[in-house]
Homo-oligomer: A and B are copies of this chain.
Amino acid sequence: MLTIGTLAKRTGTKVQTIRYYEQIGLMPEPGRTDGGQRRYGDAELDRLAFIRHSRQLGFPLDAIRELLDLSDAPDRPCHEADEIARRQLKLVEQRMERLKALHSELKRMVKECSGGNAAQCRVLEVLRDHSECLTEHDQIGA
């Protein structure tokens, strides 16, 4: 029987986060001691590890919920999981594209800064002047 703290340590999760996952129904309500403290078994450890690994790969919690459902129903066809993973892959590729563009613009900004005062600063100038910019009016957050 594992305490929540042990579970946290073993999976690299914060205790609060585990309670949060329980609250939103991603982790099941575990058994409790007479005093009301949570006690977990190995199934919960596995489930949490699955969640954390998925999060590390950038899957949103909703997607993880679907993946867990699939994982709990071994007879269902696999293509749903595949689709979710492909979607995530696409997202990652998009973000990489955006980051590449940002990277070159930032690099240019920094390279051209010669260290005078703000009036001549290339960094500020580039930020001011949108017309030199390669990136589009689209979503932010990289």
- A residues sitting closer than 8 Å to B (CB atoms) are 12, 46, 49-50, 52-58, 67, 70-71, 73-79, 81-82, 84-86, 88-89, 92-93, 95-96, 99-100, 102-103, 105-107, 109-110, 113, 115-121, 123-124, 127-128, 130, 133, 135, 137-138, 140-142
Q: Is the interface of A mostly helix, strand, loop or mixed?
A: helix
Closest to A79 in B: B115
Q: Does the CB pair A127–B89 fall under 8 Å? A: no
Contact assessment for A106 and B92 in the assembled complex, using a CB-CB cutoff below 8 Å:
yes
A89 touches B107 (CB 8 A): yes
Bound form: Cα–Cα A105–B92 in Å: 11
Inter-chain contacts of A123 with B (CB < 8 A): 67, 78, 81-82, 84-85
